[in-house]
Structure 1
């Protein structure tokens, strides 16, 4: 009897792993559909608290949703106009980088020779290293995609609108659809509470980070400060390494165009901004941990990025939170949820 139960558990585990592989393969194959849908879901999660706030001010839900969407559209048009203008200016100035990089590398070689350090580059390798044509082609493609993205953005916003209208009746539908409504709704509320808390706070902090970086680089005199501020906003969603990656392009640009002193000011400014916001302000505003270990957060960045590309990297933390909460409610999934967790007991005591 015991052996039958053992084989039954093994069979269920194998079946669960096989189903997981099939689901992940399906998600990767249908990424073109899944990614916009996920973006719409998480955008609706971020905007729904604002709709609820407007409802509390006696504004009808339909009018609240429409006012919010109109505001988002106006902001998007302004943002795309500013970004397109900045990218055009960036593309026109790219040829200047070649001469400046060659000059800086030559200065570095001369400086290294004083200390008997030989730094040599073959001419072909150096041309490939500093040739801006690849970057210009990338910027040109990006501008073309940006101008052609309005249809996709319109469809995305329409999906968000219908999702926001559906929020009112969604709990009733879920109660009717779930086999165990009480436990299922409790798990869904827990997941939504955690993801909403994370996304709303993270969006506000990322927006503040982008605005501060934009203002700081403008004050220092670094060109294309709007692009680097936008990059800081986007990469702040990427855990652990996002802020460091966002600091590299403006630091290189400041070194080339502004000089070593301004580059050090830029580096110090980025370190100070990320230290205050990322290590002091964000943990206090979040109020509680994500319930995920640091290693799991980093591995989830790699995993979701492989599965769904850049959008998966941006949404890696909320997706992993949902996966952990889902595993906690599944039979046999509790142990996997513990592995994904931060190792802190639920009662708050320290583990032995």
Structure 2
């Protein structure tokens, strides 16, 4: 009788092929992105409230460091962020109402412009049928409605204002104990604490830089438009400020409405002057100077910043365009910074590939001298803890 062969026992863990791991990761990413896009109406305001909470968190911490009650810091932070939202939404709503009142008056002006275009084409030797074919697709109401569409999308970003305000309140309440929570996380999982600190620090730096340059651009644009006699200069100044948070192409989005209104109000000469002034002011500040400071503050290359704009705009709509850089920093923290074995990718997506400066006293957040900005140190970049 033949003996039954003994079963083969393999020692060691079963290794999944690397290609299969990549395919599973891609499939999981597609499912996750699809879920985020499907629930963008809810996730968008939640992410906006998160970014605003991260931005005002230092106010709460400073109040607590002075020995004052934590609830006082919560109130200070809430009043700061609520004031900003109320002022922005108020100016946009009032200005949009004024614009809606003024736009119907420009219908005849659009007809006159189209008549002038037909005459110019006829003088250039274009026959009547070709002129009709070229201009048949131009609808007067659609042409005037471009301005309304831009403002409607912009105000739609703040359409869930009550939801955002409620979330800010709850997050601010949780922020009163955030220092203790982060201390516990740092003790148990220093890698996770580093990643979250890096995200918060990069987000605050980006918001500070964008806000400062946005105010500069808004002041210059508003004064220039007022001096040139373009209607509603305050509205277009606020639009320049908001679109400054949109990387790379925010300047173009802020240019189109005032240029069209200048064309309708005073003709092509004023429109050309608006375009020239915006190109001189906004291109110099937003496209030349600001990206350098943004890249230095968040550590993202220009290409990654632009791709993040395209991706988050597709996923979350207009709100994704405004939050493209902070959301990219959040994904970077959760996917790269949280694991020391994947931090090599920072050299590929950063603007310089430089390694962040180290701090000799642990990885917690601390204020830099003279600027009040935090910095974080990577766990594992220094000697192991005892």
Measured in 1, the distance between the counterparts of 2:95 and 2:350 equals: 42
Aligned to 2:47: 38
Aligned to 1:125: 136
The reply on whether 1:27 has 2:33 as its aligned counterpart is no
Aligned to 1:11: 20
Query: Paired residue for 1:84, among 93, 115, 119?
Result: 93
Measured in 1, the distance between the counterparts of 2:232 and 2:146 equals: 15
Greater radius of gyration (CA): 2
Q: TM-score, normalised on structure 2?
A: 0.74
The reply on whether 1:95 has 2:129 as its aligned counterpart is no
Measured in 1, the distance between the counterparts of 2:286 and 2:349 equals: 22
Residues 1:76 and 1:171: Cα distance change in structure 2 (over 3 Å): closer
CA contact (8 A) 2:226 2:233 kept: yes
CA contact (8 A) 1:95 1:132 kept: no
Give 1:222 shift.
0.8
Aligned to 2:361: none
The reply on whether 1:300 has 2:308 as its aligned counterpart is yes
Aligned to 1:344: 353
Q: TM-score, normalised on structure 1?
A: 0.80
Aligned to 1:272: 280
Aligned to 1:161: 169
User: Number of residue pairs matched?
Assistant: 343
Q: More deviation in 248-257 or 76-85?
A: 76-85
1:112-171 Cα deviation digits (max 9, x unpaired): 44443566135983562445685698699789979x95xx42332232233233235335
Residues 1:91 and 1:340: Cα distance change in structure 2 (over 3 Å): same
Residues 1:307 and 1:272: Cα distance change in structure 2 (over 3 Å): same
* RMSD, matched Cα: 3.7
Residues 1:17 and 1:173: Cα distance change in structure 2 (over 3 Å): farther
Measured in 2, the distance between the counterparts of 1:162 and 1:310 equals: 25
Give 1:76 shift.
4.4
Q: List gaps (5 residues or longer) in structure 1.
A: none
Q: Which of the pair is proportionally richer in helix?
A: 1
1:300-327 Cα deviation digits (max 9, x unpaired): 1111111111111111112122323433
CA contact (8 A) 1:101 1:130 kept: no
Aligned to 1:312: 320
Map 1:181-200 → 2, pairs under 5 A: 181-200=189-208
Q: More deviation in 186-195 or 56-65?
A: 56-65
Measured in 1, the distance between the counterparts of 2:185 and 2:27 equals: 25
DSSP-derived class of the 2:298 partner: coil
Residues 1:180 and 1:11: Cα distance change in structure 2 (over 3 Å): farther
